[in-house]
Amino acid sequence: MQIKIEKVKDLTIVNIMEKRLDAKQAISFREKILELVESGNKLIVLDFKEIDFIDSSGLGAIVSVLKMVGREGKLVLSGIKETVMSTFSRTKMDKVFIISKNIEEAIDKF
Amino acid sequence: MKKENNPKNIKFTILSEKQNVELIGLSINKLCSYSGLNEKACYDIELCTVEAINNCIEHAYRNQSDRKIEVNLNLYTNKVAIEVIDLGFFHENFKPVANDFDTKNIEYVPEGGMGLQLIFQIMDVIDYKRVNQSNILTMEKIFP
């Protein structure tokens, strides 16, 4: 799982540099974000613009990240493609997460 | 499965490793696209196939990576039918869990159990049975 991290003031922007967030990637993704959270980064934007496909394991991993960030932090998802978004909607995850169209809009949510 | 309209058929066989799942997912998406289905329909069919194979790996084979999974894709003029076959443990309670959690209460948001939910929402026909030593999941998506 390749990610690229960018800091904007106290925000951590995580670009997911993969086409798929699936069962193969979910554990590694969760571990990488856990490292970030444990080192004090709790205001996180996850940028999905490269992601073409997500399965239920990928969704589960993002829910897990949301729980790690907890109520003292904030997680915003950005750049989710329409097809990928349908997986969020079907599982009600579109109601669970704060979702923005792009990075600029995501930064405005903090 | 009733053979009607003389479907185009292709059979895939993989070992039960997670890295192999995307190969079938991508192939099925492309084949559905080639058959004229729109991007959303192709994505949905890929998703259900991936979820079904993940279930075989995690539940039927309990993450053993050296077992066989067979996927048959049948493209009819009016529907797509997919069979996913494994030789592992039978899933006794093959139905989706209720999706009635409180979306505002993070602690209760589920991290699992969404695969069958997606399959049951997307597919029009779902049949899961054990025949001899094989578990056979048949999923059909009928074209609107």
Residue A99's CATH number: 3.30.750.24
Yes or no: say if A67 and A38 are a contact pair by the CB < 8 Å rule. no
A82 closest CA partner among A58, A107, A108, A48: A48
- Give mean pLDDT, residues A19-25: 97
pLDDT number for residue A71 = 84
- B98-124 confidence digits (pLDDT tens): 888 999 999 999 999 999 999 999 999
DSSP state of B57: I
User: Which two three-digit tokens encode residue B101?
Assistant: 């959690």
Closest residue in B to A87 (Cα–Cα): B118
Q: Is the pTM of this model over 0.90?
A: yes
Q: Is the pLDDT of residue B5 over 70?
A: no
ipTM entry: 0.93
Q: Is the pLDDT of residue A54 over 80?
A: yes
Q: Do A91 and B117 lie within an 8 Å CB cutoff?
A: yes
Q: Is the pLDDT of residue B133 over 90?
A: yes
Could you tell me the residue range of the domain that residue A64 belongs to? Answer: 3-108
User: Which two three-digit tokens encode residue B118?
Assistant: 């997606």
- B52-86 confidence digits (pLDDT tens): 999 999 999 999 999 999 999 999 999 999 999 99
Confidence of residue B4 (pLDDT cuts 50, 70, 90): low
Which residues on chain B are in Cβ contact (under 8 Å) with A64?
111
How many domains does chain A contain in total? Answer: 1
pLDDT number for residue B99 = 86
Q: Is the pLDDT of residue A106 over 90?
A: yes
User: Which two three-digit tokens encode residue A92?
Assistant: 């009600």
* Interchain contact A32–B (C-beta under 8 A): no
The Cα B49–Cα B39 span in angstroms is 15
Domain annotation for chain B: domains and CATH numbers? 8-142 (3.30.565.10)
The Cα B83–Cα A31 span in angstroms is 34
